[in-house]
Structures are given as structure tokens and as C-alpha cells.
């Protein structure tokens, strides 16, 4: 089963 | 004082159509260099980034940096009140809590203005690093929209497999399976019809069809779409907006649990 990761985990809070 | 004018309302209408399925609201950051909007959809799965350059507006004045939080549904309603060939001027005073959209007909005989309340949005701004992608595919945007629509009938997810020969889109589910292969165009007569692949390394990634389909709402903005992919990082789907700038959508690949 594949899950959809949160986009936030790939980038930093600017 | 902020003032930005476009000679034609169509482009702004298309931009709103391209974001309003994903975003209910967004902050437009205005500065000397232009207008930027960056926002995640409600479920934090995708990220939308819009850039409009000041030098491509017919008039652009921004005395102080300004962040305008707007309800995009309301903005879309207001833009529906403009004719496609109307001139649009967006105006706001410094520290104002409203923004005004002014529409002027080509013969200058009809002028309307709509004032909208601004919102204080507490939105996080994400830093996106410059990335060298393993595969960059440029293809007709209508073709990409068609493939996303067709394959979504078979599965919630779509696999995109890119090699230097071509790009393959696949979906499989209870109904059956679908595969669409596009070869790299050998003879580029019409650039807008070409499929062009720049590949460092082949990639195979799985994406949610629902979001890809939402991104294709930007299709009327550009004949071509660019897909940038690398293993384990978000896909970037980019539509250029003529001379004005671009809209980019980011979507992380699905991962094995």
C-alpha cells in the first residue's frame, strides 16, 4: 500500500 | 500605494481557474519585482507557487512590500464580472484592509470597480531548494490533461516512468489497466506539439491522479507543460504564463508504507 506524504516534509519553513 | 494593470482580464481569469480548485484562500505578496502567491492545498499534499513579474504588467507600482490575503472564491466571483477584453487594475493603499479591482471596457465607456475585504492569513511559506531533476519532460499541456483525465478512470494513482526514449503513464485498478506511451519527438516542426525529454537518470514515480487533474486546470494558460522529476522528491508541474511569469505545482510521490 502506498501512502501520500505531506508536502511540508520536503521543504523548510521560510 | 499598490497598483497593477493588465490590458486583458482573460489571463487573470485563467490564473484563478488554475488555483481555485486547490486553494480557498491565499496571500499575494507584492513587491517591486512583482506578485507572488505560495500556498498549500487544505490537506497539505500539494503546493502552488505563482509568480507574476512586474515588468510584464502594463502598469506596475508598488511603493512598499504588501501582503494581501484574499479569498480566492470571492476573487473569482469578482473576475467573472469582467469581460475578457476589459483592462483590469488591482489597487490597494499601504496598510489597507481592502483591495479594489477596476475593470474598464475597451472603448472606455464602462468602468466598474469591486472592493474586496482582505484577510489576515497565517500561512506558512515554504523554502524550496534549487534542484537538478533526473528527468524533465516538456509536452503539450492538452495531452497531459487528457492523459490525467483518462487514466484517473482506472486508479487513484498514476505511475510516470521516464526514460530517454519516452515517457509512460500507467494506471491499474479493479476495472483494468491503462498505459499511455509518448515517444520523444524526433522532428520538432511545431514546438508547442513536441515531447522533449532531458534525462540524467530514468525515474519511475507514483502520483495521486486527483492532484494531477487539479493541476491541469492551468492548461488554458500555456500550450506546453513541464514535468520535473527525481526519485523521492516532489514532482514539479510548471505552466508558463506567456511573458508574465509561471505557475508551479508541487506534489510528492506516493511512498510504500
The low-confidence residues of chain A, meaning pLDDT below 70, are none
Contact B124/A5, CB-based, under 8 Å?
no
- Per residue in B8-43, pLDDT (tens digit) is 999 999 999 999 999 999 999 999 999 999 999 989
Contact B255/A11, CB-based, under 8 Å?
no
Question: Quick one: pLDDT at residue B230?
Answer: 97
Select from B157, B234, B256 the Cβ nearest to the Cβ of A7.
Answer: B234
Contact B45/A7, CB-based, under 8 Å?
yes
Question: Quick one: pLDDT at residue B105?
Answer: 97
> Residue B9 belongs to what H/E stretch?
none
Question: Quick one: pLDDT at residue B63?
Answer: 95
How far lies B39's CA from each of B1, B24, B161, B179, in Å? 24, 10, 28, 32
- Minimal-distance CA residue of chain B relative to A7: B45
Residue closest to B57 by CA, chosen among B88, B27, B18, B99: B88
Residue closest to B161 by CA, chosen among B174, B171, B150, B153: B171
Chain B contact residues (CB < 8 Å to A): 40, 44-47, 124-129, 157, 206, 208, 233-234, 250-252, 254-257
- Per residue in B78-93, pLDDT (tens digit) is 999 999 999 999 999 9
B215 vs A contacts (CB less than 8 Å): none
Contact A2/B233, CB-based, under 8 Å?
no
Buried/exposed B117-147: b ≥16 CB within 10 Å, e otherwise: ebeeeebeebebeeeebbbbbbbbbbbbbeb
The low-confidence residues of chain B, meaning pLDDT below 70, are none
Question: Quick one: pLDDT at residue B124?
Answer: 82
Q: How far apart are CA B20 and CA B11, in angstroms?
A: 14
Question: Quick one: pLDDT at residue B187?
Answer: 80
- Phi and psi angles of residue B151, each rounded to the nearest 5 degrees, phi first: -75, -25
Contact A13/B125, CB-based, under 8 Å?
yes
Select from A7, A13, A14 the Cβ nearest to the Cβ of B44.
Answer: A7
Q: ipTM for the complex?
A: 0.95
Amino acid at each position: 500500500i502506498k501512502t501520500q506524504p505531506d508536502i511540508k516534509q520536503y521543504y523548510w519553513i521560510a | 500605494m499598490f497598483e497593477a494593470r493588465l490590458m486583458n482580464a482573460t489571463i487573470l481569469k485563467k490564473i484563478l481557474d488554475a488555483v481555485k480548485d486547490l486553494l480557498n484562500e491565499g496571500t499575494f505578496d507584492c513587491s517591486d519585482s512583482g506578485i507572488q502567491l505560495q500556498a498549500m492545498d487544505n490537506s497539505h499534499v500539494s503546493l502552488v507557487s505563482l509568480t507574476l513579474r512586474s515588468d510584464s504588467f502594463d502598469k506596475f507600482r508598488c511603493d512598499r512590500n504588501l501582503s494581501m490575503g484574499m479569498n480566492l472564491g470571492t476573487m473569482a466571483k469578482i473576475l467573472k464580472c469582467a469581460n475578457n477584453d476589459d483592462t483590469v487594475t488591482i489597487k490597494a493603499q499601504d496598510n489597507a484592509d481592502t483591495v479594489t479591482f477596476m475593470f474598464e471596457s475597451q472603448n472606455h465607456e464602462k468602468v466598474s470597480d469591486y472592493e474586496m475585504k482582505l484577510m489576515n492569513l497565517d500561512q506558512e511559506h515554504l523554502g524550496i531548494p534549487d534542484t537538478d531533476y533526473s528527468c524533465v519532460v516538456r509536452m503539450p499541456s492538452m495531452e497531459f490533461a487528457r492523459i490525467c483525465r483518462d487514466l484517473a478512470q482506472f486508479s487513484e494513482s498514476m505511475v510516470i516512468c521516464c526514460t530517454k526514449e519516452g515517457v509512460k503513464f500507467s494506471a491499474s485498478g479493479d476495472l483494468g489497466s491503462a498505459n499511455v506511451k509518448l515517444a520523444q519527438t524526433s522532428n520538432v516542426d511545431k514546438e508547442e506539439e513536441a515531447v522533449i525529454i532531458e534525462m540524467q537518470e530514468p525515474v519511475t514515480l507514483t502520483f495521486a491522479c486527483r492532484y494531477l487533474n487539479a493541476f491541469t486546470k492551468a492548461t488554458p494558460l500555456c500550450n506546453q507543460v513541464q514535468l520535473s522529476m527525481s526519485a523521492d522528491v516532489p514532482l514539479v508541474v510548471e505552466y508558463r504564463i506567456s511573458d508574465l511569469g509561471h505557475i508551479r505545482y508541487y506534489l510528492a510521490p506516493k511512498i510504500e508504507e
